[in-house]
Chain A
Amino acid sequence: MRPFSYQRATDPGMAVQALGGAAAANEPLTKAAAQPLAGGTTLIDLMKLDVMRPTAIVDIGPLAHAWSAIAPGGDGLRLGALAKMSDVAAHAEIQRSYPVIADSLKLAASAQLRNMATLGGNVMQRTRCNYFRDVSYENCNKRNPGSGCAAMDGVNRMHAVLGTSDQCIATYPGDFAQALIALDAMVEITGKAGTRSMPFAQLHKAPGSTPDIETVLQPGELISAFSIQGRWPRSVYLKARDRQSYEFALSSAAIALDVQDGTIRDARVALGGVATVPWRAREAEALLKGQKFDDGLAQRVADAAFAEAKGRRHNSFKIALGKRVVARALQQAVTMEI
Chain B
Amino acid sequence: MTAAAPAPKTNMGQPVPRYDAAAKVTGKATYASDMPLDNPAHAFLVTSAIAKGRIDRFELDDAKRVRGVIDIVTHENAPKLKESKLFSNGGYAGTTIQPLKSAEITHDGQIIAVVLAESYEAAREAANRVKVSYTAAAPSATFDSPGTTAAAAKGQNSQFKEDPKVGDFAKAFDAAEVKLSVSYETPTQHHNPMELFTTSCAWMGDNLVIYEGSQYVYGLKNGVAEQLGIDADKVRVVNPYVGGGFGSRGSMTPRTAIIAAIARRLNRPIKLVPTRDQGFTIATYRAETRHEIRLGASRDGKLVALRHEGAEVSSRPDAYCVGGTKTTTRLYACPNVDSLVSIVRADRNTPGFMRSPPEVPYLFALESALDELAVKLNMDPVELRRINDATRDPIDGKPYTSRSLMACFDEAAKAFGWSQRSPQPKSMSDGDWLIGYGCAATCYPTQMAPSAARVRLQRDGRTRVEIAGHEIGTGAYTVIAQTAAERLGVSLEKVAVFMGDSDLPPAPVAGGSNSTASTCSAVMMVCDQIRHRLFKALMPSDSLADKAKETVGISPAPSTQAAKGDRRLDIEKAFDALGVGVVEEYGEWKPEGAPLDSFRAMHNGQVRLVGGHQMKDQIAYAFGAEFVEIRVNRFTHEIRCPRLVGAFAAGRIMNPRTARSQLMGGLIWGMSSALLEATEIDERNARYVNDNLADYLVPVNADVPGVEVIMLSEQDDHINPVGAKGLGELANVGTNAAICNAIHHATGQRIRKLPVRLENIEL
A residues whose Cβ falls under 8 Å from a Cβ of B: 1-3, 50, 110, 128, 130-131, 134-137, 150, 153-155, 157-158, 238, 240-247, 250-251, 317, 321, 324-325, 327-328
Bound complex: CA A242 to CA B759 (Å): 10
Bound complex: CA A221 to CA B759 (Å): 41
Q: Which residues of A contact B759 (CB under 8 A)?
A: 317, 321
Bound complex: CA A130 to CA B124 (Å): 20
Residue of B nearest to A133 (CB): B692
Contacts between chains A and B (CB distance < 8 A), count: 78
Specify which of B277, B638, B684, B702 lies most central, judged by the most chain A CB atoms within 10 Å of its CB: B638
The listed residue (B128, B691, B697, B701) touching A242 by CB distance below 8 A is B697
Q: Is the beta-carbon distance between A245 and B700 smaller than 8 angstroms?
A: yes
B99 CB, min distance to chain A CBs, angstroms? 17
Residue of A nearest to B127 (CB): A50
Q: Is the beta-carbon distance between A2 and B689 smaller than 8 angstroms?
A: no
Using A324-B635, A327-B635 as known contacts, say yes or no to A128 and B758 having CB atoms under 8 A apart. no
Q: A110-B700, A240-B633, A243-B676 are in contact. List 20 more A-B contacts (CB 8 A).
A: A1-B125, A2-B125, A131-B689, A137-B49, A153-B684, A154-B689, A155-B690, A157-B680, A238-B636, A240-B637, A242-B675, A242-B697, A242-B758, A243-B702, A244-B703, A246-B702, A250-B758, A317-B759, A325-B636, A328-B635
A169 CB, min distance to chain B CBs, angstroms? 14
Bound complex: CA A246 to CA B698 (Å): 10
Q: Which residues of A contact B701 (CB under 8 A)?
A: 245
Binary interface encoding of chain B residues 675-713 relative to chain A, with 1 for a CB under 8 A from any of its CBs, else 0: 110001110100001110011010111110000000000
7 tightest A-B CB contacts, nearest first: A317-B759, A240-B636, A136-B49, A244-B702, A328-B635, A245-B702, A155-B689
Residue of B nearest to A45 (CB): B694
Residue of B nearest to A248 (CB): B694
B115 CB, min distance to chain A CBs, angstroms? 13
Q: Which residues of A contact B680 (CB under 8 A)?
A: 155, 157
Q: Which residues of A contact B124 (CB under 8 A)?
A: 1
Determine chain A's interface SS by DSSP, over half rule.
loop
Q: Which residues of B contact A131 (CB under 8 A)?
A: 689
Bound complex: CA A110 to CA B689 (Å): 23
B634 CB, min distance to chain A CBs, angstroms? 9
**B121 on the A face (CB < 8 A):** yes
A274 CB, min distance to chain B CBs, angstroms? 13
Q: Is the beta-carbon distance between A243 and B703 smaller than 8 angstroms?
A: yes
A271 CB, min distance to chain B CBs, angstroms? 14
Q: Which residues of A contact B699 (CB under 8 A)?
A: 243
Q: Is the beta-carbon distance between B636 and A242 smaller than 8 angstroms?
A: no
Interface size on B, residues (CB 8 A): 33
19 CB < 8 A contacts A-B: A1-B124, A2-B125, A128-B694, A130-B689, A135-B128, A137-B49, A154-B682, A155-B689, A240-B633, A240-B758, A242-B758, A243-B697, A243-B703, A244-B640, A246-B700, A251-B636, A321-B759, A324-B636, A328-B635
Q: Is the beta-carbon distance between B676 and A50 smaller than 8 angstroms?
A: no
Q: Which residues of A contact B681 (CB under 8 A)?
A: 155
Bound complex: CA A155 to CA B690 (Å): 9
Specify which of B638, B675, B689 lies most central, judged by the most chain A CB atoms within 10 Å of its CB: B689
Using A128-B694, A242-B757, A243-B703 as known contacts, say yes or no to A154 and B684 having CB atoms under 8 A apart. yes
Residue of A nearest to B122 (CB): A3
Q: Which residues of A contact B757 (CB under 8 A)?
A: 242
Residue of A nearest to B633 (CB): A240
Bound complex: CA A134 to CA B697 (Å): 18
B479 CB, min distance to chain A CBs, angstroms? 33
Residue of A nearest to B705 (CB): A244
B residues whose Cβ falls under 8 Å from a Cβ of A: 49, 121, 124-125, 128, 277, 432, 633, 635-638, 640, 675-676, 680-682, 684, 689-691, 694-695, 697, 699-703, 757-759
Q: Which residues of B contact A135 (CB under 8 A)?
A: 128
Specify which of B277, B636, B675, B757 lies most central, judged by the most chain A CB atoms within 10 Å of its CB: B636
Bound complex: CA A168 to CA B124 (Å): 29
Bound complex: CA A317 to CA B637 (Å): 11
Q: Which residues of B contact A2 (CB under 8 A)?
A: 125, 128
Bound complex: CA A2 to CA B123 (Å): 10
Q: Which residues of B contact A128 (CB under 8 A)?
A: 694-695
A251 CB, min distance to chain B CBs, angstroms? 8
Q: Which residues of B contact A244 (CB under 8 A)?
A: 640, 700, 702-703
B703 CB, min distance to chain A CBs, angstroms? 5
Q: Which residues of A contact B676 (CB under 8 A)?
A: 242-243
Bound complex: CA A190 to CA B703 (Å): 42
Q: Which residues of B contact A328 (CB under 8 A)?
A: 432, 635-636
Q: Which residues of B contact A136 (CB under 8 A)?
A: 49
Q: Which residues of A contact B635 (CB under 8 A)?
A: 324-325, 327-328
Q: Which residues of B contact A157 (CB under 8 A)?
A: 680
Q: Is the beta-carbon distance between B703 and A245 smaller than 8 angstroms?
A: yes
Bound complex: CA A131 to CA B759 (Å): 22
Using A155-B682, A241-B638, A242-B758 as known contacts, say yes or no to A130 and B695 having CB atoms under 8 A apart. yes
Using A155-B689, A242-B758, A245-B700 as known contacts, say yes or no to A321 and B637 having CB atoms under 8 A apart. yes
Bound complex: CA A243 to CA B672 (Å): 10
Bound complex: CA A317 to CA B684 (Å): 22
Q: Which residues of B contact A130 (CB under 8 A)?
A: 689-690, 695
Bound complex: CA A234 to CA B690 (Å): 38
A222 CB, min distance to chain B CBs, angstroms? 27
A112 CB, min distance to chain B CBs, angstroms? 12
Q: Which residues of B contact A250 (CB under 8 A)?
A: 758
Specify which of A244, A250, A251 lies most central, judged by the most chain B CB atoms within 10 Å of its CB: A244
A55 CB, min distance to chain B CBs, angstroms? 12
Q: Which residues of B contact A321 (CB under 8 A)?
A: 636-637, 758-759
Specify which of A50, A130, A157, A247 lies most central, judged by the most chain B CB atoms within 10 Å of its CB: A130
Bound complex: CA A50 to CA B49 (Å): 15
Q: Is the beta-carbon distance between B689 and A240 smaller than 8 angstroms?
A: no
Q: Which residues of B contact A137 (CB under 8 A)?
A: 49
A255 CB, min distance to chain B CBs, angstroms? 13
A320 CB, min distance to chain B CBs, angstroms? 8
Q: Which residues of B contact A50 (CB under 8 A)?
A: 128
The listed residue (B49, B121, B277, B697) touching A247 by CB distance below 8 A is B697
Bound complex: CA A273 to CA B334 (Å): 50
Bound complex: CA A247 to CA B758 (Å): 14
Residue of A nearest to B50 (CB): A136
Bound complex: CA A2 to CA B124 (Å): 8
Bound complex: CA A153 to CA B682 (Å): 9
Q: Which residues of A contact B702 (CB under 8 A)?
A: 243-246
